[in-house]
Amino acid sequence: MWVDDQLGTTPKIRPEIYKAAISEAHRLGFRVAIHIYYLEDAKAVLRAGADIIAHGVRDLPMDAEFIGLLKARGACYIPTINLDESFYIYAERPEWTKESFFQNALQPALGVQLK
């Protein structure tokens, strides 16, 4: 379930909706993965019973409360380590993008786009 507001471009899903969805999914025997961005949303969905946090917290450093909630729920945390870098890293043309390993992995059209 996508909870965040895509950096302010869409409304966030309301807590009463994600709480009901989590409850119903658990009633049916399903685990619930939540796409988040903000630390406070991550804490809120864990309190509501989320089983998986996807893409990781990216607005603030994780704190002890958040880690405690993850542990208490036995929830999985899926960081997407290079997600935010993908917005700018290719504009800077780092040295590794010139290496044959990277170049050989590119489809030709993407290689032209990156140049």
Same domain, 32 and 74: yes
According to the model, what pLDDT value does residue 108 have?
Answer: 86
Residue 54 host element (H or E):
strand 52-55
| Distance, CA of 31 to CA of 35 (rounded, Å) | 13
113: pLDDT confidence band, cut at 50, 70 and 90?
confident
Residues 67 and 16 in one domain: yes
- pLDDT average, residue stretch 97-114: 85
The reply to whether 26 and 72 lie within a common domain is: yes
Give the pairing of strands 33-35 and 76-79.
unpaired
C-alpha triplet 36, 40, 44: angle, nearest 5°: 80
38 and 71: one domain? yes
The answer to whether the beta carbons of residues 3 and 36 sit under 8 Å apart is yes
Provide the whole-model pTM.
Answer: 0.74
34 and 7, same structural domain? yes
**Are 59 and 114 within one domain?**
no
Q: What is the pLDDT, as a whole number, of residue 3?
A: 93
Condensed to tens digits (0 to 9), the pLDDT of residues 21-45 reads 999 999 999 999 999 999 999 999 9
Are residues 61 and 101 located together in one domain of the fold?
A: no
**What is the span of the domain harbouring residue 91?**
84-115
